[in-house]
Chains A and B, each alone.
Chain A
Amino acid sequence: MSGADWLSYSLQDFVMFGPQVFLRLFVRINQDIWPWQLLAVLVAIAVPALLLKQDGRSRRMALGLVSMAWIASGYGFLVGYFGPINWPAGWFGWAFVVQGGLLAAAVLFGGVHERRLRNGPLVLCWLMAVCGLLWLPVVEAGSWQAIALFGVAPGTTAATGMLALALMTGSWRGLYLIVPLLWSLFSAAMFWVLKTWWLLLLPMATLMGIGAAFWFSPRQGRSPG
């Protein structure tokens, strides 16, 4: 399609589904993968536990788990469930998989900080994010089955996963920002059109996660708090 063709479309033209269908994606995936989401809960708890240790090996393991969460939510939720009703979401699914791959590459090729970091507040933020954000689709859908777990739901995964930026060295960070920023923009526009106002907190949390990660990451000439 030419530029002029694209310009003749509005935002609504790309949100080709209703809120009910979207919110049921959370319910459906939770029903279909039961009881495997318990594994996602374990991962969501294991990451902060690993972050409490200040050694490089634990950090790499934590990042490895976060990378798996990106891949799982991208391939599972976005490609498998969301893609069939919204083709851009399918593309984002593959972008999430690439994002997970990037993180894995950072783990393997020395993109992880070895210096001490302010892990107390970081862990607190992590727990607040995984425990708080999962309720947003529940509030919108009016069903607890719409719970949005880290590693299953892309919004929770992106917002919480951003905190992992704190563990990464400078050169890798830029790469790690592209997909979450595009996803935040896309999902904010989509939630706006769908009028699912509570879900707008997800892209906002992603941006806050980026800010927090920069704040908590080790800096030159600054002792960890």
Chain B
Amino acid sequence: MERRFNRRQFLINTGLAGLALKSQVLFANTSGTPASSPITRRVPGTGEAIPVIGMGTWITFNVGGDTKLVEQRTEVLRTFFDLGGTVVDGSPMYGSASDVVGEALEALGARDRIFAATKIWTGDESETREQAEQSRRRWGVDRFDLLQVHNLLGWQGHLETLKAMKADGEVRYIGITTSHGRRHREFEQIMKREPLDFVQLTYNLLDREVEDRLLPLARERGIAVIVNRPFQGGSLFRRFQSEPLPGWAGDAGVGNWAEFFLKYIISHPAVTCAIPATTRVEHMKENMGALYGALPNAEQRQRMADYVRSL
């Protein structure tokens, strides 16, 4: 994976320069990172740096053969890459999303810019390789960077095959996923026992159960963490968007609600990457704002959680 990104391209492509005038703190550099560099986190197993904001494709990229919508989603992906994103998450469960990602990658000529992550989602534990190969063809990538067992479905069998595939160089990283707080106990046991590179789980300002055990365990075990449902499937916006941001938001590096929700997540030390999904270029720009600037510190994180609870 190679990242092509520079400051000029960033400013031109995004229009975030205008936003920066409105939000003086957006480019304030309080974390020691150059203001226009994307914030990255290292995958503990290899030290590879990946941008902390990725992209999900559940619902949003499942548009079937609708050429008009495929073009729109291609623009969303273009914006994502232009703003420094690399990690794209999919699953065979997401209908036509894999095909649409594949078409968009082809149109953008961007296969070398992606950190391609998908899942194995089948109850037949002997089908791991077959499904991975099907997905690979649909995405049009040489190989996946990350293959995850979706929702622990048939995890024993799949994980064995994934380990073998990793040893053979057919995939770079392997992992497991859950969401909505499901099966955390079993998830924890697997994290303790298995040699995982990544876990994917739900974490957002309202769903914080993982702060107690799973996130500390991931740090302890050196497992990278991808966070799904960072906006609780969009309901965080529906609940809070009409409310004002707190006056101190700027000090925490936050210029809008999307950044508020995302920066809370990615500032947790165990989190490697959050993968918000969107159908809209404007929303993608907002979300990618969280990839830049300052991050809230521990005290500010607490204030963020308290503020949302108070609304």
Contacts and interface: CB of A to CB of B under 8 A. Distances in A.
Interface of A: 1-2, 5, 8, 10, 12-13, 16-18, 20-21, 24-25, 28, 81, 84-87
Interface string B279-301: 10000000000000000000000
Contact of B123 (A1, A24, A86): A1
Interface stretch (B55-63, B198-206, B252-260): B55-63
A88 to B, nearest CB: 10
Contacts of B220: none
Given A1-B153, A16-B93, A21 B63 contact: yes
Contact of A17 (B62, B68, B151, B183): B62
Given A2-B123, A16-B93, A21-B69, 6 more contacts: A16-B59, A16-B94, A17-B59, A20-B279, A85-B95, A87-B95
Nearest to B68: A24
B187 to A, nearest CB: 12
A28 B67 CA distance: 10
A87 B180 CA distance: 23
19 contacts: A5-B151, A5-B153, A8-B151, A8-B183, A16-B59, A16-B62, A17-B59, A18-B59, A20-B279, A21-B63, A21-B64, A21-B66, A81-B64, A81-B65, A84-B65, A84-B95, A84-B96, A85-B64, A85-B95
Contacts of A2: 123
B63 A85 contact: yes
A189 B93 CA distance: 19
B192 interface: no
A85 B153 contact: no
Contacts of A25: 64
B104 to A, nearest CB: 15
Contacts of B180: 10
Nearest to A9: B151
B182 interface: yes
A85 B62 contact: yes
Contacts of B93: 13, 16
Contacts of B64: 17, 21, 25, 81, 84-85
Contacts of A81: 64-65
Nearest to B121: A1
A172 B287 CA distance: 57
A26 to B, nearest CB: 12
Contacts of B96: 84-85
Contacts of A20: 69, 279
Indicate the member of B64, B66, B69, B153 with the most A CB atoms within 10 Å.
B64
Contact of B95 (A8, A12, A16): A16
Nearest to A2: B123
Contacts of A87: 95
B226 to A, nearest CB: 19
B60 A18 contact: yes
B6 to A, nearest CB: 34
A72 to B, nearest CB: 19
A89 to B, nearest CB: 10
Contacts of B153: 1, 5
Contacts of A17: 59, 62-64, 95
Q: Nearest 7 A-B pairs (CB), nearest first?
A: A1-B123, A84-B64, A85-B64, A85-B95, A17-B62, A16-B95, A84-B96
Q: Specify which of B66, B94, B279 lies most central, judged by the most chain A CB atoms within 10 Å of its CB.
A: B66
Nearest to A12: B233
A10 B65 CA distance: 26
B277 to A, nearest CB: 10
B69 A24 contact: yes
Contacts of A24: 66, 68-69
Contacts of B95: 16-17, 84-87
A87 B60 CA distance: 16
A34 B69 CA distance: 20
Nearest to A32: B65
A5 to B, nearest CB: 6
A1 B94 CA distance: 17
